[in-house]
A and B are shown apart, each in its own frame.
Chain A
Amino acid sequence: MMQPKSTHQPSACHGVSRRSFLTDTGMGFTGLALGAMLAKSSLGAPPAGWQSKIDRGRSGVKPKAKTVIWIFLCGGVSHLESFDVKPELNKYAGKSIEETPYADVLDPKKVGANIQAGNPNHGNRKVIMPLQTGFQRYGKCGLEVGDWFKEIGTCADDLAVVRSLWTVDNDHGAQLTFQTGRHVREGAHPTIGSWATYGLGTLNENLPEFVVLGTPTGDCCGGAWTHGASYLGPEYAGVRLSTDPKKPLPYLAPADTMTAEEQKQNFSLLGRLNRISGIDYPGDKDLRARIKAYELAARMQVSIPAAVDIDAEPAHIKTMYGLDRPETAGFGRNCLLARRLAEKGVRFVQLYHGGAFGSPRINWDAHEGIVENHVGQAASMDQPVTALLKDLKQRGMLDDTLIIWTTEFGRTPITQGVGATGRDHHPFAYTCWMAGAGLKPGLRYGETDELGYDSVTNPVSVYDFHATVLRLLGIDHTKLTFYHNGSRRRLPDVHGHGVDGI
C-alpha cells in the first residue's frame, strides 16, 4: 500500500536462496498456505504464516462469526407483508395518507432527505393498499410474519430482525448501495464480501474465499458491480460458481478434448519448466506467486467440482431444501451449496435470489401486482432458506456463521397508481434479518411508523449495517482501510456506526 508523501523506503527484502525457491515451488505442493498467501497479491514480502498477515482492521474484540452467508433478494421485498407487518394499513385502505392520523409521515423534512439523484418516476403514490396477505405470530418471541413466509416464521426465535433500515437510492442502484455503501453514481467500489475477505483472508486454500451463487442482478444499475472488488483487486472479487457440477467456474475444465491424464502431464511439465525459470529469479516474488497460482488452479480443478457435488448429499437433506419440487429446486440447490461451501471454509457466500430485471419479472420488483409477484417469489425462497437455517443449526454451524437475509429496499404502503395492485420502491424504511453469530435470539431492532413509511426508532443506515456486520466478524470498520486514489478508503466511507444492542 502506498504511504502518502513518503520518501522512498526500500521494501523489505527477504532474500530467497535458490534452494528455498526450489523447495517452495516444488511439485510436492509444499508450503500451500504460503502459496495461497502469495497468490493474494504482490503486496509485501512472504509472511511467516497466513494468519499473521491477513489481519487487517481487527477490532480486538473476539469475532462472533467466521463465515457469512449473505442472502440478497433482488428487486425489493415488501417489508409490510414480510417481517414488519402493519395492520393499520387495513384500517385506512383506500384512503390517502393525508386522510389518516399519520399524515405527518409525508413531511419532506423527515423522509426523502437522504435520497440522492432520485428517479422521479419512483415514489409517492396516492392510495393506501391494505395488507395483501394474513400474518401470524411465531415462536416464543411472538414475531409477526406475513403468511407468504410461514416456513421462515418457524425459525422466529433464531432471527434478529432489523426493521428500521433505510437507503439513499429510490431506484435499483440501491442494490449496489447495499453491497458497497456507495450510491450507484459513484460507480464501482469494493463490496462487503470483498472487504471481509480482504480483512480476514482464507480458511481453505483450495477454494475461492468469496463465492457468488445464483443469478446476480442484471444489466442495470450497477448490477455486475454488486459482487466486485473494484480497487481492492480481482483477487478479492466474488467468484461466481454455478451448481452445475460440469461447469461450476469459467475455464475450470479444458474446453475441448484434452483428457485429465493429459492435463496432469501438462501441469507436470509446466512445473518443471517453471522451476528452470525460477532458478534465475530467486528473489522474484511475483514469479513465485504466479507459479503458486498455477498450483492453486490445479487444486481448484479438483476441489471445486467436489464442493459443488450436491448429489453426494443424502436424500433427506435434498428434500429438506426442496430439491424435489420444481419451484424450490433451483434456489434450494444454491442454499445447499452455500452450506457446503461454508462447511469447507469459504469465508463469504453471496447468495442472490431473484436476479436480473426484465419482463416477465423474475425478481421481487412487484410494480404490477404484489400478490402474484411475491407469492411466486416467496414460494421458491421460503423453504430453502428455512432449510439452510435449520441445517446449519443441526450441524452446530450457526454459532460461528452469520446469515443475513436482505434486499434492496422495501415497498410503498400505497399503491402504484390508482386502483393498481403493485407497490413501488420504498427506500425510507425496510427490513432485513440476521441469524447465527451469537445474535440475541428473537431480537427486534428499530421501528417504523404505523404505516411502515419511515424508520422512526433507531434508524439503521446501510453504513451502520455494514459497520455492524464487520463488527460481528471482529473487524473495526474504521481500521479496515485501503489506500486508493488519494485517500484511505473504507467500506462505509466516512459514515457508519456499529449498532449496539444487536
Chain B
Amino acid sequence: MPVPAKLTRTVLAAIISLWPLTSTLASPAHKAALIDRYGRLLPKASASCITCHTSDPGIHMPTRLADIPHNAFGARLAALGSRDIETRLAKIATEDTDHDGTSNELELLAGTSPANASERPTPAQRTDAALKQLPLAFRTSDYAFRPFKPVPPRPTSNVSIDSLLNRYQTERDISANPAASKEVLLRRATMDITGLPPTPAERSAFLADTRPDAYKRLIDRLLASPAYGERWGRHFMDIWRYSDWAGWNDGGQVRDSQPHIWRWRDWIVESLNGNMPYNRMVTLMLAADEVAPTDQNALRATGFLVRNYKLLSREAWMEDTVNHTSKAFLGITMHCAKCHSHMYDPIPQTDYYRFRAIFENYNVRTERIPGEPDTTKTALVRAYDADMTAATYLFPRGDDRNPDKSRTFSPGVPAFLGGEIGVKPITLPAVAAHPELAAFVIDETRASLQKKLAAALLADKNDPRAQLVYLQAQVDMQIFDAQRVIENIELTGDKSSAKWVMAAKDIVRLERYKRFTDARILLLDARKRLAATSDKDKPMAQAAVTQLEKDVAAAEAKSATELDTAYTKRIQSLPNQSTGKRTAFAAWLVDKQNPLTARVLVNHIWMRHFGTALAPSVADFGHNSQAVEQGQLLDYLARSFMDNGWDMKRLHREIMLSAAYQRDSRPSAKMLQRDPDNVSYWRFAPRRLEAEGVRDAILAVSGQLDRTQGGAEVDQNLALETKRRSIYLRSAPEKEAEFIKVFDGPSVTECYERKQSILPQQALAMANSKLALREARTLAASIYDALPEKTHVFTAIRNAFIATLTREPTTAEMNECVRFMASTAESTPGKAENSLHRRLENLVAVLIQSPRICNHSLTWQEEIHDATEIHTST
C-alpha cells in the first residue's frame, strides 16, 4: 500500500524535529520544513531563520519563535493559510517576493535572500541553482528515492516494531500468531545468531530458567558468543562480495581478488563480535589507508576494495567497484549508467564517471606483517592510492576502448543525492609511504641481524671462513644502523646537508667493505670446490676461482677510491599522499543526512532475521524496485539505528525482542488467504538455513565442529573432511565446495540475497555424503554409549531427537521410530545391521537428513511444529 504523500518527510527533518526541546526557540520547525523540502540542495546561507524572519540586530530575541517578526518573504509564507509549511513553500516557489528578477526558489537554492532585493545571485550562483532544479523535481515528486517518512510518536504509545506492525495488521483485519514455545524460540534465536543449533545442555538450561527475562538473557548470551561474528560475518561477506583469490596454476596466476584476503574476513568477524559501529566499519573498508594508515588491523578492512582486483582488465575492476559499492551501501544501481543515462533513476551517464573517479587512483599492495618477513607466506593485502594523477574519462556508449578524452571527471556522487563530497588530499605518515620504517620491521630486522652476529661469534676463531662470516654479519649490522641514521635525517626532508653527505658516505664505505667481504667468502668457497673437483671439471672450477680473484681485487681497489653518496636505500618509496577521495566519500555515505545508507543496512539485517526484506529489492531502492510495504517501519529502524550510534547488536536485540520475531510459525488457512506472503509478519515464516549453516549444523550436533576462529582459508575440496566452520572454506570463482554449492552457496560475483532452491541433489547430499553419514554415526555412538541400559530404545530415540531437533519426539513420532528400530531387526535377521547401535545410527542419519531437522531438520531455520500440538492433531 503506497505511503500517503502527505506524511512524507525526510529522515533529516525527523532528526531535527525530534531534537530535545530545551526551549521553543530551539525547535525551529519552520527551518526544518525548509531543509526538509530542499535537503542537501539547500546552501547553508538559506538554511537559516533569517531567510523568513527579520535580520534586524536591534530586535531583542523574544522567547517564542512566533514573536520574531517576519520579513517580506516570511510574511508572504505566513499569509498562506495552510498549516503545512512545505505546501506553502511549494506555492510561492515561483513567485519573486523581493522583485529582484529571481524567483524565490532559485534564490533559496543560490543562497541569496528571497526577501532582500539588494541580494541577487551571481551568474555562477544562478547556474549552480538552476542545475539543482532537476534533482529537486525528483526529490519532491512521488518518487521511489524520496526519503521515507519518519514516524511521529503517538501520545499513547512509543513507536516500536510491534506498534507499527500491529497498526498495519489491525488496518487489514489480520490476526497475528501467538508466541512460539520456549523450545522453538531457543532453536530459532540460536540458529539465527550463531548459525548453529542449541546443544542439549543449552536446551535444559533454558527450559529450567523460569525468570521473566530468560529470553532476553538468552539473546544477550547469543550476541556475546564468538559464533555471532562468524554467522553474521558470512552474511556481510555475501553483501560485500567476499572472494578468496581466483586464478589458476595453484596461484601461479592470480586473476581475481588476492591471496591473504582472508584477513579481511577475519576483520569482519572480529569487528562484528566487537560491535564496531557500522559507520566506522564502512569508513574503514573504503578508506582505512587514509584514516588509519599505520594500523595494520584496520587496513585489513580495505579487503573490500582489494577484492575487486582483476589481473586482466582494469576496466572490469573499476566497473565492479562502482557497481557493487553503490549496491552494497546505497542500494542504487550505478552500473546502469555506464553506457547511457539510467533508464529509471535520475543518474545521468556523467554521474557514473564522477562516481568512478572516487576509485580511479586506488590499487592494491601486499605488505609485511609482524613475525613473517616473507610476504609470499603470509602478509597483509590492502588498498592504497597508487597513482595520484589517474584521470577518469567517459566512455561513449560504455565502450572502454574509446574514452572521450576531451574532459576528465572529478569525484562525486549522483547529483540527486547531493553531488559534491568535498575532497581534501591527505598527507600520509612516513611509515605508510615507507613500510620498512614500521617499528616491528626495524626491530625484527635488527633482531635477525643480531642473531646472525651472535651465531658468527660462536664460530671457530681459527677458521678463516668463519672469521669472514663474522665480519660479514658485523658489517650487515653496521649498514643497518647507518641506514637508520640517514633515514632519520631524510625524514626531516634533508637530502643534501653536510650531515647527510657524511651519513651517505658512511653507508657507501660499509657497502664497499661488504662487497669485498662477500667476494672473499665466495672465493674461499670456490677454492674449496676446486680442490675437491675431479679432473674433468677442473678447468671450469679454476675459471670460477680466477673470476672471483678478480672480483676481490676489484672490490679492494674500489674501497680505496674516494667515497661518493650513491648508497642503496633500504626502504621503498610509495606515495606519501592520498587523494582523500574515498575518505570524503565514506564521510558522505555515513552522514546522517544520507537517506539510503542506514535504510539499506537495516533492510539487509531485517531480511536475515525474518527471511523477507522490508524493501524487497535489497540491492536496488530505485524506481525499478519492488514496492516497499513497510516503509514506516524501515524508516523508524533506520533512524533509531543512526541515533543509537549505528550499533548493530542493539538492532539485533530490538528485532529479536519484538513480538513479531517471537511468533509461532504455523499457518492458519484464513491468514494464508489474507496475507499469503506474510507481508504483515503475522507469523514467523520457517525457512532453510543457508548452505554454510547446513554443513555446520551437521558437525555441531555430533559435537565434532572445530570452533577455531580465523586464519588462512581451507581448501574447498576438503569440505567433507575438515571440521572447521564453512565460513573458512575457500570460496572463489571456480573454487567453491560442492556441498556448499548444492545448497545454494553464495555466488562470489554477486550475492545480495541467497536463493532457496529445492533440489533432489540436496536430499542426496544429506542422505549419502560422507559428512552426513560419518557425523550421524559419531552422534549415534555418543548417544549409545551414554545409555544406562543398552536396551533403552525409548531413551535412545528421545536423546536423538533432542540432540538433532532440540525437542522431544511426539507420541506419533515415537511410535514410528520404535517401529523402525524393531522392524529393521525383523527384516534382516542375523545381520550386523540388526544391532541396536546400528539401528540407532540409521535413525540419527534419518533425523539429520530429514527436512525437519531445521525443519528439514538440520536444513531448516527451526522446527516448524511443536510437540504437544502435533500430538493432538494426529
Contact = CB atoms under 8 A, between A and B. Distances in A.
A218 to B, nearest CB: 7
Interface string B592-623: 00000000000000000000000011011011
A185 interface: yes
B846 A270 contact: yes
Contacts of B400: 117
A219 interface: yes
Interface stretch (B109-117, B210-218, B767-775): B767-775
A283 B667 contact: yes
B2 A269 contact: no
Given A234-B744, A266-B845, A281-B667, A297 B756 contact: no
Interface string B749-786: 11000011111111111011110011001000000000
Nearest to A219: B248
Interface stretch (A245-253, A386-394, A425-433): A245-253
A298 B761 CA distance: 10
A262 to B, nearest CB: 6
B54 to A, nearest CB: 47
Contacts of A52: none
A279 B864 CA distance: 11
Contact of A277 (B769, B820, B865): B865
A296 B760 contact: yes
Given A273-B813, A297-B764, A261 B855 contact: no
Interface string A273-293: 110110111111011011111
B873 interface: yes
A5 interface: yes
B626 A293 contact: no
A300 B627 contact: no
A294 B810 CA distance: 22
B622 to A, nearest CB: 8
Interface stretch (A9-17, A416-424, A461-469): A9-17
Interface in B1-30: 1-2
Contacts of B773: 254-256, 258
B629 interface: yes
B758 A42 contact: yes
Nearest to A185: B316
A279 B870 contact: yes
Contacts of B349: none
Contacts of B765: 250-251
Contact of A281 (B744, B842, B865): B865
B750 A485 contact: yes
Contacts of A2: 616-617, 626
B758 A293 contact: yes
Contacts of A117: 312-313, 315-316, 400
Nearest to B752: A485
A3 B344 CA distance: 14
A15 to B, nearest CB: 6
B869 A15 contact: no
Contacts of B777: 256
A4 interface: yes
Interface in B828-851: 828, 833, 842-843, 845-846, 849-851
Contacts of B234: none
B624 A5 contact: yes
A263 B767 CA distance: 9
A261 B305 CA distance: 54
A213 to B, nearest CB: 17
A142 interface: no
Contacts of A487: 624
Contacts of B865: 277, 280-281
Given A234-B744, A486-B624, A280 B870 contact: yes
B761 A301 contact: no
Contact of A274 (B344, B767, B851): B851
A39 interface: yes
A251 B627 contact: no
A254 B756 contact: no
B468 interface: no
Interface in B709-747: 733-734, 736, 738, 741-742, 744, 747
A405 interface: no
B767 A15 contact: no
A294 B2 contact: no
B472 interface: no
Given A2-B617, A280-B666, A293-B759, A273 B816 contact: yes
B1 A294 contact: no
B812 interface: yes
B810 A254 contact: no
A239 B312 contact: no
B318 to A, nearest CB: 11
Interface string A465-492: 0000000000000000000011100000
A13 B816 contact: no
Contacts of A263: 767
A119 B842 CA distance: 55
A294 B734 contact: no
Contacts of A106: none
Interface in B780-806: none
A10 B675 contact: yes
A283 B759 CA distance: 20
A391 to B, nearest CB: 29
B827 A230 contact: no
Given A273-B816, A485-B620, A13 B843 contact: no
Nearest to A7: B627
B852 A273 contact: yes
A287 to B, nearest CB: 7
Contacts of B673: 13, 15
Contacts of A38: 758
B375 to A, nearest CB: 24
B763 A297 contact: yes
Contacts of B534: none
B851 A276 contact: no
B333 interface: yes
A239 to B, nearest CB: 7
Nearest to B849: A270
Contacts of B93: none
A255 B768 contact: yes
A315 interface: no
Contacts of B850: 270, 273-274
Interface in A185-240: 185, 187-188, 218-220, 222-225, 230, 233-235, 239
Query: Quick one: which of B248, B619, B629 has the most chain A CB within 10 A?
Result: B248
Contact of B870 (A4, A255, A276, A297): A276
Contacts of B851: 274, 277, 287, 290-291, 294
B676 A11 contact: yes
Contacts of B864: 277, 280-281, 284, 287
A6 B627 contact: yes
B336 interface: yes
B672 interface: yes
Nearest to A38: B758
B677 interface: yes
Given A10-B675, A277-B865, A357 B248 contact: yes
Query: Quick one: which of A42, A235, A298, A300 has the most chain B CB within 10 A?
Result: A235
6 contacts: A4-B625, A13-B673, A255-B770, A276-B874, A277-B864, A290-B856
Interface of B: 1-2, 144, 248, 310, 312-313, 315-316, 333, 336, 344, 400-401, 616-617, 619-620, 622-627, 629, 666-667, 669, 672-677, 679, 686-687, 733-734, 736, 738, 741-742, 744, 747, 749-750, 755-765, 767-770, 773-774, 777, 810, 812-813, 816-817, 820, 823-824, 827-828, 833, 842-843, 845-846, 849-852, 855-856, 864-865, 869-870, 873-874
Given A187-B733, A254-B767, 18 more contacts: A5-B624, A6-B627, A8-B679, A10-B674, A15-B672, A39-B759, A41-B757, A117-B312, A117-B316, A218-B248, A222-B734, A233-B755, A262-B824, A266-B845, A276-B813, A279-B873, A290-B856, A486-B617
